[in-house]
């Protein structure tokens, strides 16, 4: 089980670090748009859509990394005061919540993605870009988030299965 947890963690950290490089063209496009709009008074017609596609990629591919790096939002006021075993219970409960949420996103996002691919759906902007490339990132990102939540849940389960500490005050 430990190997799976480590594999999932490494996978999501690698994907998250790679997706961070998407920010470079995103920043360049936004700087270019600001320059065109405010300095030469000639806004582009393409930058908004391209930046939205890139933002989808960063958010969907980076969400699992965020969970792996323990940067998601939670009630640290309570969580930090919990014993390791209580934290493990919270992680297990969180996994089941994410399981439901992410599974729905994978399922329905996958259906929408498939529909966009089969029917060659395109954006309604001047670029008429295919919607499939950005839509496929939604179920992929949700699945990666589901996997990372599974990793944290398994880590919590291993903590609960492990022998309790000698203090007897863990739960």
Tell me, what's the pLDDT at 166?
47
Q: Which residues contact 120 (CB under 8 A, 6 or more apart)?
A: 130
Q: Which residues contact 100 (CB under 8 A, 6 or more apart)?
A: none
Tell me, what's the pLDDT at 22?
96
Exposure string for 4-26, b = 16+ CB within 10 A, e = fewer: ebeebbebbeebbeebeebeeeb
pTM of the prediction?
Answer: 0.84
Is residue 100 classed as helix, strand or coil in its secondary structure? helix
| Mean pLDDT, residues 133-137 taken together | 94
Chain segment 57-73, per-residue pLDDT in tens = 999 999 999 989 888 77
Q: At residue 16, does pLDDT exceed 50?
A: yes
- The structure tokens listed for 47 are 């930058």
128 alpha carbon, distance to own chain's centre? 27
């Amino acid at each position: 089980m430990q190997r799976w947890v480590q594999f999932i963690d490494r996978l999501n950290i690698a994907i998250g670090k790679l997706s961070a490089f998407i920010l470079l063209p995103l920043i360049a496009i936004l700087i270019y748009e600001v320059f065109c709009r405010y300095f030469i008074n000639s806004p582009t017609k393409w930058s908004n859509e391209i930046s939205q596609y890139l933002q989808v990629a960063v958010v969907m591919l980076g969400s699992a990394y965020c969970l792996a790096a323990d940067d998601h939002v939670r009630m640290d006021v309570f969580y930090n005061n919990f014993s390791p075993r209580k934290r493990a219970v919270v992680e297990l409960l969180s996994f089941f919540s994410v399981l439901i949420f992410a599974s729905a996103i994978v399922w329905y996002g996958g259906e929408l993605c498939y529909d966009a691919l089969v029917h060659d759906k395109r954006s309604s902007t001047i670029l008429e870009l295919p919607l499939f490339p950005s839509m496929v990132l939604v179920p992929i990102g949700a699945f990666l988030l589901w996997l990372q939540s599974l990793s944290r849940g398994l880590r919590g389960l291993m903590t609960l299965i492990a022998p309790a500490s000698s203090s007897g005050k863990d739960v």
